[in-house]
Amino acid sequence: MVPPMRPVHLLASCLLLAACGDDPAAAPAQPLPAPAQLDALASDPAVLARGRQLYLTGKGYCTTCHGVDGNGGPQGARLASGQWLHGGSMAEVVRSISEGYPQKGMRPWKDSFSQDELIALAAFVRTLPAAAASAASAK
């Protein structure tokens, strides 16, 4: 006969689930933080530095299609034009990166990055238009 599940087992499986949160592939989709909190993260220098690193050297190979400066390449959309095809708010850019545009050539990245990483990537990508504009005016 199977013994009834005791509370201690429930606790153990909750802890196990929490530990799984480190593995983005296994983690259930988390709701995004509220817009104000996302905007605060978007101006946090540590978040931007992390996003820059992930954009330039991360496993998403973002630069292959979008270019180091976001000016795009043969197959990628420009990220530095200042015109977002799919919306430029933090939530919208996180969504673009998470879900991708498979029919246009960008796969979804939500299984490759944690939510914090997706937020960091979005924060950094949103700085590309201003960086491109100041590079252009410095010429």
Q: How many residues form the binding site for ligand HEC (CB under 6 A)?
A: 24
Both structure tokens of 34: 């509220």
Largest CA distance in the chain: 79
Both structure tokens of 35: 């817009």
Cα 39 to Cα 43: distance, rounded to the nearest angstrom: 7
Cα 35 to Cα 106: distance, rounded to the nearest angstrom: 25
Residue choice 62, 80, 90, 128 for contact with ligand HEC (CB under 6 A)? 62
Decide if residue 121 touches ligand HEC (CB under 6 A). Answer: yes
Nearer to ligand HEC, 21 or 61 (CB): 61
Cα 115 to Cα 27: distance, rounded to the nearest angstrom: 10
Residue choice 80, 106, 119, 120 for contact with ligand HEC (CB under 6 A)? 106
Binding site for ligand HEC (CB under 6 A): 55, 60-62, 64-66, 75-77, 79, 84-86, 93, 96-97, 101, 104-106, 109, 121, 125
